[in-house]
């Protein structure tokens, strides 16, 4: 399983609009092949910062399947104008510690 982490910096004054748009956009990823689950977290120290966590079965389910889909274009249209700067997205795998 792969964990995608995106740190989102939202333009000042647009957090409520972003949350409403995200509530609509989250359905686009939830129906994708390889999607497991997701969480959106709001930063306590910076009111305009969020962490998006998405679990995928494989890296390609996100990077090829979702990003290459029509649903990603809808996601972009709803959400990308809120970001400043554009988020860094990284992928992680769990470390087995005994």
Comparing CA positions, the residue from 72, 76, 88 lying closest to residue 7 is 88
pLDDT confidence of residue 8: 98
CB 82 within 8 A of CB 10: yes
Distance CA 82, CA 65 (A): 23
pTM: 0.94
Distance CA 45, CA 78 (A): 25
pLDDT confidence of residue 9: 98
pLDDT in tens, 18-36: 999 999 999 999 999 999 9
Distances in Å between the alpha carbon of 42 and those of 10, 30, 33, 51, 78?
A: 11, 20, 27, 7, 19
pLDDT in tens, 33-53: 999 999 999 999 999 999 999
Q: How many CA atoms lie within 13 A of 50 on its CB side?
A: 22
pLDDT in tens, 52-84: 999 999 999 999 999 999 999 999 999 999 999
Question: Does residue 98 register a pLDDT over 90?
Answer: no
Distance CA 44, CA 91 (A): 23
């Amino acid at each position: 399983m792969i964990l995608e982490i995106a740190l989102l910096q939202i333009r000042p004054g647009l957090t409520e609009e972003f949350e409403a748009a995200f509530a609509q956009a989250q359905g686009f990823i939830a129906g994708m092949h390889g999607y497991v689950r997701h969480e959106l977290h709001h930063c306590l120290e910076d009111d305009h910062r969020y962490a998006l966590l998405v679990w995928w079965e494989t890296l390609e389910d996100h990077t090829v399947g979702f990003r290459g889909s029509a649903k990603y274009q809808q996601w972009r249209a709803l959400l990308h104008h809120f970001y400043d700067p554009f988020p860094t997205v990284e992928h992680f795998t769990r470390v087995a510690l005994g």
